Structure 1
């Protein structure tokens, strides 16, 4: 029976790269999206072209009822979940903390942090040996911003990812005895369209020279690390925060 992976925010960027690479590695793939329907269907087409089953499921993973429905659809369309990539995330316009609205903060943490808790909860209920499962692996997509803090740009985003790091460490210890590994990747400057959301579309070109490797990373490079963390090759790795940042 094929391994089944759910990728939240799987329609573009790192999520897209993970979905495609997972199909190449033999996974059947559930692609979650919230608003980018056409992009999600294009990823699905690429997954099918690699001979794998695919489910495309719209859900706002910051909302509990949507998450419950999402996982039920994965069960129905693909079967037993074995891998979860909590990739869904947002960033907002660069600004200082004193200018941030409460609505922005609520939305940031709902999408970047609460969603990972909710999705992990549903995954554990299916994977955990104490619930009759056979184990599995979870990878949370954090950010190097959790370490550098994002001053003057997006301290809220950085804090939401810092919380995700703490969640990763604690959850790994909690569910390790249940046969579930939990890790995080922390990308640095990666060439995706998320930077346009900050109001600074030239951010990659501006910051890349400051990276020790003198360049930005790619979504594909990040996906390689994520798939390794999901694979048997990392069977003794859990609770790790893996920087994919070019040394930044």
Structure 2
């Protein structure tokens, strides 16, 4: 049987890296997109290859249309027809109230989390729909429904847009055999918190989580892998919340 070929954006670390490792173990060949951490992306690629998968690594800013086109073109040229997309690349900007957030931060968060997700989803749809099948999983956030006041309302708003995209595109592509779903993680223990200026945030938030712990990237990767698999063949338009009860 032909191996699935999946594009994973933001695949160099955190949730994206865990998704790459899990999909490779499940028999996917992978195109790993990254924007800054080249060494980390290559390290993930090495793990993927050790699992028996074929892999390419592509530097890509997902908010740039030409770079998105190059990402998918490279995947198709090196691996074969793309059958899956994990739309994982995302940014938050520093923690803080909306009133104190710079316009440049707002613009970058919108560009990556909304425009970037749209550009990748559009390219995947253009490739998959004529072939009659495929799977897209968008990485949303529990913040989409919680709002994240005092932390990153702007980020929460972009993830609500991801949820709307997921539901609408699922209905649009369903007749073409392409499934579109999302996973909405809660606070997950990755280095994104240090990047936003709060390295201890995952442990602090865990006190409010019914399961009394932050998520682990593998928790999210397991949900993504299920949605990408034939076991989820009748699941589309779903936003699967993996948030410890929040």
Q: What TM-score bracket applies, with the shorter chain setting the length? A: over 0.9
Q: Deviations over 1:206-237 (max 9, x none)?
A: 11021001111110011000000011111111
Q: Structure 1 runs of 4+ off > 4 angstroms? A: none
Distance in 2 separating the partners of 1:103 and 1:136:
35
Q: Counterpart of 2:212?
A: 214
Report the counterpart of residue 235 of structure 1 in structure 2.
233
- Aligned residue pairs total 245
Q: Does 1:17 align with 2:18?
A: yes
Q: Distance in 2 between matches of 1:93 and 1:23?
A: 33
Partner of 2:201: 203
SS of match in other structure, 2:212: coil
Map of 1:6-155 to 2, 5 A cutoff?
Answer: 6-128=7-129, 131=130, 133-155=131-153
Give, in angstroms, the shift of residue 198 of structure 1: 2.0
Instruction: Provide Cα deviations, 1:90-146, integer angstroms capped at 9, x if missing partner.
Output: 111111111122211110011111111101111111111xx2x13100000000010
The CA deviation string for residues 64-111 of structure 1, in whole angstroms up to 9 with x for no partner, is: 111111111111111101110000001111111111222111100111
TM-score normalized by the length of structure 2:
0.98
Given the two structures, how large is their TM-score scaled by the length of structure 1? 0.97
Structure 2 partner of 1:181: 179
Considering only aligned residues, what root-mean-square deviation do their CA atoms show, in Å?
0.8
**Distance in 2 separating the partners of 1:92 and 1:247:** 25
SS in 1 for 2:10: coil
Give 1:159's aligned residue: 157
Show the counterpart of 2:191: 193
Question: Which ranges in structure 1 are unaligned for 5 or more consecutive residues?
Answer: none
TM-superposition CA deviations, 1:142-164 (whole Å, max 9, x none): 00010110101100110010111
